Amino acid sequence: MSRNDRLIKVIGQRGARVDELERLYGQRAKVFLASVTAFVGDADMAFDSVQDGFVLALRKKRSFRGDGDLEAWVWRIVLNAARDRVRKASRNTSVIPDAAAESEITSFVSGNDNIHSDLRDLVSALPERQRLAVFLRYYADLSYSQLGQALGVDPGTVAASLNAAHRTLRRKLEAQTELEVANERP
């Protein structure tokens, strides 16, 4: 039975069971942590956010209505926990990406170091919804439906957000390439 088969079976079931949440944590904690680290820019804050999110999911397990995917429901809780931590931290100090966050973003993109750096910077500069959609779609491998549930938007909005992110990244990468080519000319 695949991961999706095990998690999809809870759709239609009211309330999440502890064993389902534990299994989700055991199977996907690294993906949650890596994605949230890339999102918040701080490994410790990401770890705390993921822990807070799963604790809250356990506390609110009865509020899972079963009309969607359990993993998407947990993603929404974890992302809200991360946003809360970023908001609280930004009141006190500015959040500066740490080495672990840089590593997660770098491992998200592939290719040579220059592409890593350029793409990392470009993805980090995207608006929050687009940045989250990119990370959750391509790193956490969530479907459009799951993304919509996690972000609290319709799947059509997810598609529009990803399309806008792709367009922005393509335009900026093309501009950088043109600039590099122009600089190489004698």
> What pLDDT was estimated at residue 1?
47
> What pLDDT was estimated at residue 130?
92
Residue position matching structure tokens 């993906």: 31
> What pLDDT was estimated at residue 29?
92
> What pLDDT was estimated at residue 122?
86
Separation in Å, CA 103 to CA 100, 118, 144, 154: 5, 14, 26, 31
- What average pLDDT does the segment 173-181 reach? 82
- What average pLDDT does the segment 2-20 reach? 60
The Cα 16–Cα 14 span in angstroms is 7
Give the pLDDT confidence of 113-171 residue by residue, as tens digits.
Answer: 455 567 778 888 899 899 989 988 988 889 999 999 999 899 999 999 999 999 999 99
- Whether 39 and 105 have beta carbons less than 8 Å apart is answered as no
- 10 Å Cβ neighbour count for 10? 21
The Cα 186–Cα 179 span in angstroms is 13
DSSP string, 81-116: HHHHHHHHHHHHS-----HHHHHHHHHHS-S-HHHH
- 10 Å Cβ neighbour count for 57? 24
Give the pLDDT confidence of 49-91 residue by residue, as tens digits.
Answer: 999 999 999 898 888 877 778 899 999 999 999 999 988 887 7
- Whether 151 and 133 have beta carbons less than 8 Å apart is answered as yes
SS3 call for 1 = coil
For the chain, the domains span: 3-184
> What pLDDT was estimated at residue 163?
95
What the block records as the tokens of 32 is 């949650």
Residue position matching structure tokens 């770098």: 106
